[in-house]
């Protein structure tokens, strides 16, 4: 059974940092695609960062590029999203997603990811 579990969300002041974790079980990291998405109230779910373990490619949305960084610990089956210089507009529920096909990670659309975590709330506010 595939399971993705996110953690690390919380309340942080503008300019602060958080690190989200996504533990993936039931999946091999070979050729795996892992994506981070977020959904703010009243808005569509958007892709913000994706990594393809087949070629090692990484993609970031323009809104987070230079502030957010993905990393992974293959032994722990964990993918991290380091978020720095957080802004109020980063407030959303953040989701980790996975798919066995990493050929569309540059598109960063939810429809290309079959497995989803439950989400973790990130709130950026003073």
Question: Average pLDDT in the 57-67 region?
Answer: 96
Return the sign of the alpha-carbon dihedral for residues 120, 55, 46, 19: positive
pLDDT tens digits for 7-39? 999 999 999 999 999 999 988 777 789 999 999
What's the pLDDT score for residue 76? 84
- Mean pLDDT score of the chain: 93
* Closest to 86 measured CA to CA, from 22, 118, 46, 38: 38
CB proximity list for 7: less than 8 A, separation 6 or greater: 20, 21, 23, 120
Tell me the pLDDT band of 54, cut-offs 50, 70 and 90: confident
Q: Compute CA distances 99 → 34, 87, 109, 124, whole Å.
A: 7, 29, 12, 29
């Amino acid at each position: 059974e595939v399971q993705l579990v996110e953690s690390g969300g919380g309340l942080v002041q503008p300019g602060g940092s958080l690190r989200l974790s996504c533990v993936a079980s039931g999946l091999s990291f070979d050729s795996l695609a892992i994506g981070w998405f977020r959904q703010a109230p009243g808005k569509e779910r958007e892709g913000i960062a994706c990594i393809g373990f087949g070629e090692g490619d990484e993609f970031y949305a323009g809104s987070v590029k230079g502030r957010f960084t993905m990393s992974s610990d293959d032994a722990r089956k964990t993918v991290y999203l380091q978020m720095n210089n957080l802004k109020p507009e980063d407030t959303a529920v953040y989701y980790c997603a996975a798919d066995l096909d990493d050929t569309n990670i540059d598109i960063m659309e939810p429809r290309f990811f079959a497995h989803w975590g439950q989400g973790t709330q990130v709130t950026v506010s003073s």
